[in-house]
Amino acid sequence: MKEMTIRQLNRLDDKPMFSVKDPISALTHFVGFIVSIILTPLIFTKASYSGSSLTGLVALYIYRLSVSLLFAASTTYHTFLLPERPARILKKFDHMSIFVMIAGTYTPVCLMLMKPEDGIPLLIAVWTVALIGMAVKAFWVYCPKYVSSVIYISMGWVALFKIGVIRKALGTLGFTLLLLGGVLYTVGGIIYAIKFRISRDWSEHEIFHVFILLGALCHYLMIFILI
């Protein structure tokens, strides 16, 4: 009995006390979350010195909250090994938060950088699509990857309907950063959809996460420069 107890203890000692579900995916978006928290006061300081209105500050708050929410939800889902039911709930939050971030990024662009007659209808359209997308994910979270990518990419490029107005409102630098961020998100979505992988550790999901980080950075710089 004593010998069995020692063996059991030895086996327990060999097992890690904590194991991360998807280490690279969790790490990349944890870095994104930390950077998001650090960058948030900087953009509010810039907005305050620029004399932004209350509406503008609220728009920025929605934007920064949506980005931080995405990285927090993603980090949580990819970190913890959980039973099926709680894992499914976290997966839903992870996927739904992508819609929130896309709409959240549109919010300061529409309310701070565009004329109300152009920005408000676009913002309503984007948030409507976001709510529909979230509802889809709530009931069909395990849909094929290409379905998710098509929905995310289509929502992200809704701005094409107002491309001329947006280009005029953002100027050359702002419009370039907007397009660059959109292209990065799109390439990441395509990689995710076709399941392209570099190695066993760097599958489509890990690569997708890196493109999300780069796209989010481009859009942050765009908004920071223009407000």
φ/ψ of 105, rounded to 5, equals -70, -35
Percent of the chain with pLDDT over 90: 58
pLDDT at 47: 93
pLDDT at 2: 44
CA–CA separation, 133 vs 209, rounded Å?
Answer: 20
7 pLDDT above the threshold of 80: no
Q: Per the domain annotation, does 16 fall within a domain? A: no
Q: Per the domain annotation, does 221 fall within a domain? A: yes
The SS3 assignment for 85 reads helix
- On whether the CB atoms of residues 211 and 188 are closer than 8 A, the answer is yes
> At how many degrees (to 10) do helices 204-226 and 163-194 cross?
160
pLDDT tens-digit series, residues 51-74: 889 999 999 999 999 999 999 999
Per-residue confidence at 12, pLDDT binned at 50, 70, 90?
very low
Q: Per the domain annotation, does 8 fall within a domain? A: no
154 vs 213, which has greater pLDDT? 213
User: What range defines the domain where residue 146 resides?
Assistant: 21-226
CA–CA separation, 51 vs 59, rounded Å?
Answer: 14
pLDDT at 153: 85
pLDDT at 45: 94
pLDDT at 151: 85
> At how many degrees (to 10) do helices 54-79 and 23-49 cross?
170
Q: Per the domain annotation, does 13 fall within a domain? A: no
Residues 142-148 have a mean pLDDT of 80
pLDDT at 18: 61
Q: Per the domain annotation, does 10 fall within a domain? A: no
Q: Per the domain annotation, does 124 fall within a domain? A: yes
Residues 151/155/156/162 CA torsion (nearest 10 deg) = 150
> Residue 139: exposed, middle, or buried by beta-carbon count in 10 A (0-12, 13-18, 19+)?
exposed
Q: Per the domain annotation, does 14 fall within a domain? A: no
Domain count, the chain: 1
What b/e readout covers 28-67, taking b as 16+ CB neighbours within 10 angstroms? bbbebbebbeebbeebbeebeeeebeeebbebbbbbbebb
Q: Per the domain annotation, does 6 fall within a domain? A: no
Per-residue confidence at 42, pLDDT binned at 50, 70, 90?
very high
Per-residue confidence at 17, pLDDT binned at 50, 70, 90?
low
187 pLDDT above the threshold of 50: yes
> At how many degrees (to 10) do helices 84-108 and 204-226 cross?
30
Q: Is the dihedral of CA 205, 160, 118, 171 positive or negative?
A: positive
